[in-house]
Amino acid sequence: MALKYKRILLKLSGESLMGNDPFGINRETIKETVQQIKEVSDLGVEVAIVVGGGNIFRGVSAQAGDMDRATADYMGMLATVMNALALKEALESMGATARVQSALSMQQIAEMYVRPKAIQYLEEGKIVIFAAGTGNPFFTTDTAAALRGAEMACDVMLKATNVDGIYTADPKKDPNAMRYQSVTFNEAIEKNLKVMDATAFTLCRERDLPIVVFGISKTGALKRVVLGEDEGTLVHN
């Protein structure tokens, strides 16, 4: 079974862990997500993950109100650590080996992010979960994913969403919306496709790190992406 991508950076939103719950972590949803991750890890894919925290707290959300933006962003980073620990526990309950590395120092619960150590873990077949974003306020977890993907020399960044790719229009509102099989970075900018925030998008383009936007809720979607099948939308130079 030929793999198209040997080392991947999987970006999971915090919202993707909620299922149909209004907030928090849905155990059944995280189990389904983790099953897909373990499936590709078992194929020999080296898996790094960056997870968001929007299911618990987001710095730019209405919850933050008039709170100082930096403080609110640090709270959001703490939420990503909670999600990372939940992912690690779920992965290990299925027999996978996972490590959490945090951009903020939290010695009791997670290792500090160290690039050579993270690469070593990936080469050993361990799943590495990066928490606390970049460790800096004003940067999204999309940017953290682009940064870690570049640092880990990943073949691709996989952005898991609740839609199975990038469409010409909102498929929930327009039944005639068509999914793009692939687009270039420049086309995505010209068409204002809003793949991810501008900082993350620019970093991926400059580092020649392709992005695949796909729906994580579709059974087997992650496996189909790493095998190079027609799943999601590829954004490339």
List binding-site positions for UMP: 53, 73, 134-141
Residues annotated within a binding site for ATP: 11-14, 54, 58, 161-162, 167, 170
Residue 113 DSSP symbol: P
151's tokens: 């640092």
DSSP string, 56-96: T--TTSGGGTTS-HHHHHHHHHHHHHHHHHHHHHHHHHTT-
- Backbone dihedral angles phi then psi of residue 123, each to the nearest 5 degrees: -65, -25
Residues annotated within a binding site: 11-14, 53-54, 58, 73, 134-141, 161-162, 167, 170
List of E strands, 21-167: 46-51, 98-102, 111-112, 127-131, 156-161
